[in-house]
Amino acid sequence: TLSACPEAAMLTDLEGYADLRLTVGSVVSAKLEAEGYLPTRWSELTVRAWTPPLELAMVKASAKAQLPSYASDKGLVLVNVFGASGACSRPDGGVLAVEGHPEAKVTYHEAGPPYAPSTDAVTSGSGVASISGLAAGTRALVKGSRTGCEVSPFSSPGAVVVEPGVVSIVQMVVRDP
């Protein structure tokens, strides 16, 4: 389903692809549901005339073991930080928070599979973090920082609305300032 048309459910083809026609300038967020996967919502993006085709992944149900804060009655934000180029080409060393929500609890995950939660206070080489503690209905805008770099949402505006039982995905990019 799309945030812009929540009453309209769309089905993918047998390979998992869907062709959607969206209004230029609209802000949309896609929610994906399939057997064997956790319900997954992708962060908001503004549709542009030049928006390239998107490939949106889902979170396998087996990933619950690495997401201890996930529950069917609570929302969870999963953040994937990746590096662009130059001196800021790595995702490690980033600090994340949710703008205006000090109650948000950020958990950083280990650098390699299975990306288990760690006790670190910054992103590892995997760039994976999860955020819990936000009430359902909260519009979460993830902010990031890293010394000497800029950390921002990959898509604009990049926020997600927290939903019970849904993993909301936000991608962040680290780049040279």
- Give the pLDDT confidence of 24-46 residue by residue, as tens digits: 888 888 898 999 999 999 998 88
Q: Quick one: pLDDT at residue 46?
A: 87
Q: Quick one: pLDDT at residue 114?
A: 85
Q: In the chain, which stretches have pLDDT less than 50?
A: none
Measured CA to CA, the distance from residue 131 to residue 10 in angstroms comes to: 28
Measured CA to CA, the distance from residue 110 to residue 120 in angstroms comes to: 9
- Largest Cα–Cα distance of the chain, in whole Å? 45
Q: Quick one: pLDDT at residue 76?
A: 96
AA identity, residue 58: M
CB 60 within 8 Å of CB 93: no
Q: Quick one: pLDDT at residue 57?
A: 87
What is the DSSP code string of the chain?
Answer: -BTTBTT------TTS-------TT-EE-BEE--TTEE-EEEPPEE--TTPPP-----EEGGGGGG-TT-BTTB-EEEEEEEE-SGGG---TT-EEEETT-TT-EEEEB-SSTT--B-S-SS--TT-EEEEE-PPTT-EE-EEEEETTEEEEESSSB--EE--TT-EEEEEEEEE--
